[in-house]
Amino acid sequence: MTDVPDIATLPRLGLGLGLRNVHFAHIEQTWPKVDWFEAISENFMDSQGRPRDLIRKVADRYPVVLHGVSMSIGSTDPLDMEYLTKLRDLAAELEPAWISDHLCWTGVMGFNSHDLLPIPLNDETLRHIAARVHKAQEFLGRPLVLENPSSYVSFHATTMEEPDFLRELSNMTGCGLLLDVNNVFVTCFNSDTDPYAYLDRFPMERVVQMHLAGHTDCGTHIIDTHDQPVRPEVWALYAQAYDRCNGAATLLEWDGNIPSFDECLTELHKATAYMNGPFTALLDHPRNISDPNSGAQAVSNPVNFIVPEVMEHTDITPQS
């Protein structure tokens, strides 16, 4: 039996950026000052060309995390062992700080929808996913870190709150958690629930990493698009979350309309102003998530129709 390290041994990486192909040339030419990079696993697993060469060079100079979107840990299909083998081989080559994916399913009967699809949260699903997490961690020889996805629907079969489900899953399997603060805001807006109450229930002691990103406010609902700066209400949530996460690594995701590397880095560095709670003006009334200058609506409009999940990457293309 492979000995899977405990998440308590995982490093605190600081502030990182997503490794996106539009920035490859800049990164290779300048080797910029950033603490670490997160790479979409699927962008590099099948490549032996420039992307694979670039990520090898990056991994020689920076800590790297592999972030997947196709493990489909919540599916009823058997785990894709070909996928896990490629992931294990990539991890053996790069030695990432950890491997992460999402609490979701992405397909069934061998079909990959390329969407992060929601799951019913109940005891049956918990047992099913826990068994799959155990198997994946055993095969990879590394702890898996799972992210709370953005959600646009709920199920009648759901009997547990998402933070409670993730707490039980982490306790049962030893997996770590990736707290996506923007996803918390998106999910809670769309379900007409309180994001601060969500954070109050979240097992912060299991958080290894946090995500920040921008979203698109459609008035009646919000879509997780990762194509603009982080909204003020998400920064306010981050300030409270970071204060409870014991210095968990923070990453900025920007996957559509991607600006220059330096602009992304400037947006990332805004996080330092919200660490350890110095920006108390944003938190005077923390239950009011509407910022008067942001144009965002307060939580008041539950979504009762399906909005398709938007994937967390835009640069997955066949690689040579």
200-234 per-position pLDDT tens digit = 999 999 999 999 999 888 888 888 888 899 999 99
First-to-last C-alpha distance (Å) of the chain: 36
Taking the CA of residue 13 as centre, how many other CA atoms within 13 Å lie in the half-sphere pointing to its CB?
24
Amino acid 16: pLDDT: 97
Note whether 176 and 208 are within 8 A (CB).
Answer: yes
Amino acid 315: pLDDT: 39
Below-70 pLDDT ranges, the chain: 1-3, 107-111, 113-115, 277-320
For 165-188, how does the pLDDT look when each residue is reduced to its tens digit (9 = 90+)? 999 999 999 999 999 999 999 999
Q: Which CATH class is domain 7-283?
A: alpha beta
Note whether 146 and 133 are within 8 A (CB).
Answer: yes
Residue type, 271: A
Amino acid 188: pLDDT: 94
Contacts for 169 with CB less than 8 Å, ≥ 6 apart: 103, 126, 129, 130, 133, 146, 175
Task: Please give the structure tokens belonging to residue 94.
Answer: 């790069």
Burial 154-191 (b: 16+ CB within 10 A, else e): beeebebebbebbbbbbeebbbbbbbbbbbbbbbbbbb
Amino acid 319: pLDDT: 33
Amino acid 277: pLDDT: 57
Amino acid 219: pLDDT: 87
Task: Please give the structure tokens belonging to residue 58.
Answer: 């990056």
